[in-house]
Amino acid sequence: MLSLSQLKTLLATPQKIVITTHHKPDGDAMGSSLGLYAYLIQKGHHVTVITPTDYPYFLHWLPNNSDVMIYTEAKEEAEQLVADAALVFCLDFNTLSRINELGEVIRNSSAYKIMIDHHLDPEDFDDYRHWSINACAAAQLVYDFIVNELNDGEMMNKDIATCLYTGIMTDSGSFRFPSATSTVYRIGADLIDAGAEHWRIHQLVYDNATENRLRFLGNCLTNKLEIIREFNTAIISVTAEELKRFSIVTGDTEGIVNYALSINGIKLAAFIIERTDKVKLSLRSTGDFPANEICKKFFNGGGHRNAAGGYSDLNLEDTIAHFKSILPEYKTQLLQ
């Protein structure tokens, strides 16, 4: 493992660096990646952000987004950049399977791997780790890494602050989840002081929907929402045909599960989507109910206690039936 002093020595001179994050990056993934990018560029490093896949259109406004390389669209160039890199920063994930094919490319790289993450059960592929499950977002840990580990708080500029605020805002549910501690609010204030326009960031992320997305949301709530009061559970399921009919693109399904969870009395919500290769599940819960346990135990996934995801190799109908069959096992917790 690298020590902090060794890492500081490496970063003291210009290096070739790759930053990557998880499959289908969200606001925290892109915010933390582009925030770190903006910092490292200031320090004179040669940096490329490589995402495993595309990501939501409502994040394309982020500073330096035009410099992002999507692996599936430029595999050879991306693999060469990883091969040439001295350092690879792995943000908002802690298992190489979360970055698909890019995972083995990075595993086989001779570069030092630096993990900055807040998820449970990290895989031991990294050489340096800045990790805490108590952080509300990877962006919070990037802030801590720059300000407290590298003692470079004076480098905080508007671009870094904008990106990191976006990551913290999205992963903390606009500062409303229990993970949004007083420390997180103080960091948010510091980022606003550094130039983050909090009102504008919120507008660009949450008030930036297409007509197709709104019509799709209406279909989900009117026609696809199922309430199971016996278990205080709500399910929204979507077929591949519906995704096609509403011309759904990456990012259009994000957050829809939260509408199901917002129903009075609901403790567990599931959004189940028929994709081309697998059936994907997103679970959200309230209180102490372990959504991540269900995903890890039954659906090849995991995540946070109240926000987790997984997948099923069954068809959509059978996946829904399987999910429902699990609920009696958790009845006591769901009815508390």
pLDDT at 186 (0 to 100):
98
User: pLDDT over 90 for what percent of the chain?
Assistant: 96
Please report where in the chains the tokens 């995991």 appear, as a residue. 302
Please list the alpha-helical segments (H only) found in the chain: 4-11, 27-42, 75-84, 102-107, 138-144, 158-171, 182-193, 198-206, 211-223, 240-245, 256-261, 291-298, 316-326, 331-334
Domain boundaries, the chain: 4-207, 211-335
pLDDT at 295 (0 to 100):
97
**Range 131-139 average pLDDT:** 97
Contact 88, 59 (CB under 8 A): no
Q: Could you say which DSSP state residue 278 is in?
A: S
Residue 19 scores a pLDDT above 90: yes
Instruction: Report the candidate in 177, 151, 190, 11 with the shortest Cα–Cα distance to residue 89.
Output: 11
Task: Report how far residue 114's alpha carbon sits from residue 288's, in angstroms, rounded to the nearest whole number.
Answer: 31
Please report where in the chains the tokens 């035009």 appear, as a residue. 66
Mean pLDDT of the chain: 97
- Same CATH topology for 4-207 and 211-335: the answer is no
Centroid of chain to Cα 168: 11
* Buried b / exposed e along 114-138 (16+ C-beta atoms within 10 A): bbbbbbeebeeebebbbbeeebbbb
Task: Report how far residue 230's alpha carbon sits from residue 248's, in angstroms, rounded to the nearest whole number.
Answer: 32
Task: Give the pLDDT band (50/70/90) at residue 147.
Answer: very high
Contact 319, 240 (CB under 8 A): no
pLDDT at 323 (0 to 100):
98
pLDDT at 281 (0 to 100):
97
Q: Which CATH architecture has domain 211-335?
A: Roll (3.10)
User: pLDDT over 70 for what percent of the chain?
Assistant: 100
Provide the token pair at 119.
Answer: 């998820």
User: Would you put residue 126 in left (φ > 0), alpha (ψ -120 to 50) or beta?
Assistant: beta
Task: Give the pLDDT band (50/70/90) at residue 1.
Answer: confident
| Beta-carbon count within 10 A of 7 CB | 19
Helix or strand holding residue 224 (H, E): none
pLDDT at 253 (0 to 100):
96
- Write out pLDDT tens, residues 282-315: 999 999 999 999 999 999 999 889 999 999 999 9
Task: Report how far residue 214's alpha carbon sits from residue 222's, in angstroms, rounded to the nearest whole number.
Answer: 12
- Write out pLDDT tens, residues 104-122: 999 999 999 999 999 989 9
Whether CATH 3.40.50.620 fits 4-207: no
* Beta bridge partner(s), residue 269: 234, 284
- Write out pLDDT tens, residues 52-106: 999 999 999 999 999 999 999 999 999 999 999 999 999 999 999 999 999 999 9
pTM for the model: 0.92
pLDDT at 41 (0 to 100):
98
- Write out pLDDT tens, residues 173-226: 999 999 999 999 999 999 999 999 999 999 999 999 999 999 999 999 999 999
